[in-house]
A and B are shown apart, each in its own frame.
Chain A
Amino acid sequence: MTAPPATAAISVEDRLRIEELYARYAACLDDARFEEWPDFFTDDCVYRVVPRENYDRNLPLATLSFESKGMLRDRVYAITETLFHEPYYQRHVVSGILVTAIGDGGYRVRANYVVVRTKTGSLSEVYSAGRYIDRVVDEAGMLLFAEKICVFDSELIPNSMIYPL
Chain B
Amino acid sequence: MDTLPRPIELDWHPGACARVPYRIYTDAAIYERELDRFFYGGHWCYVGLAAEIPNPGDFKRSAVGERGVVVVRGRDGAINVVENRCAHRGVQFCQKPHGNAKTFVCPYHQWSYDLKGNLLGVPFRKGVRQGDRVNGGMPDDFELSSHGLTQLAVEVWNGVIFASFDRDVEPLRAFVGPEVGRYFERVFDGRELTILGYSRQRIPGNWKLMMENIKDPYHPGLLHTWFVTFGLWRADQRSEMIVDERGRHAAMVSRKNDGGRSDAVTSGVTSFKENMVLHDDRVLDVVVEPWWNGPTVTMLTLFPSLIVQQQVNSLSTRHIVPHGVGEFDFVWTHFGFADDTPEMTRRRLRQANLFGPAGYVSADDGEVIEFSQRGFAQEADGETVCELGGRGQGGADHNVTETLIRSMYGYYREVMEL
Contact = CB atoms under 8 A, between A and B. Distances in A.
A162 B363 contact: yes
B358 A84 contact: no
Interface residues of B, number: 41
A160 B363 contact: yes
B276 interface: yes
A160 B201 contact: yes
16 contacts: A53-B97, A53-B197, A61-B196, A61-B198, A62-B349, A65-B349, A70-B279, A78-B225, A82-B360, A84-B367, A85-B367, A86-B370, A156-B202, A157-B201, A160-B364, A161-B358
Contacts of A74: 278-280, 283
Contact of A65 (B201, B203, B350, B360): B350
B368 interface: yes
Contacts of B334: 61
Interface string B366-397: 11101100000000000000000000000000
Contacts of B366: 159-160
B200 A156 contact: yes
A125 B202 CA distance: 14
A53 B195 CA distance: 13
Given A85-B367, A161-B357, A161-B358, A63 B279 contact: no
Given A65-B352, A156-B202, A49 B358 contact: yes
Most chain A CB within a 10 A radius of its CB, from B197, B223, B329:
B197
B279 A83 contact: no
B283 A158 contact: no
A77 B276 contact: yes
Interface in B324-355: 329, 334, 345, 349-350, 352-353
Contacts of B371: 86
Interface string B194-229: 011111111110000000000000000001111000
Contact of B353 (A64, A73, A156, A159): A64
Interface of A: 49, 51, 53-54, 57, 59-71, 73-74, 77-78, 81-86, 155-162
A71 B283 CA distance: 8
A34 to B, nearest CB: 14
Contacts of B345: 60
B95 to A, nearest CB: 13
A51 B198 contact: yes
Contacts of B226: 78, 82
B6 interface: no
Contact of B280 (A49, A68, A85): A68
Interface of B: 97, 195-204, 223-226, 271, 273, 276, 278-280, 282-283, 329, 334, 345, 349-350, 352-353, 356-358, 360, 363-364, 366-368, 370-371
Contact of B282 (A49, A67, A83, A159): A67
B364 to A, nearest CB: 4
A151 to B, nearest CB: 13
Contact of B364 (A59, A63, A64, A83): A83
A53 B97 CA distance: 10
A28 B371 CA distance: 28
Nearest to B202: A156
B133 to A, nearest CB: 47
B360 A160 contact: no
Contacts of A158: 201-202
A69 B279 CA distance: 8
A54 B197 CA distance: 6
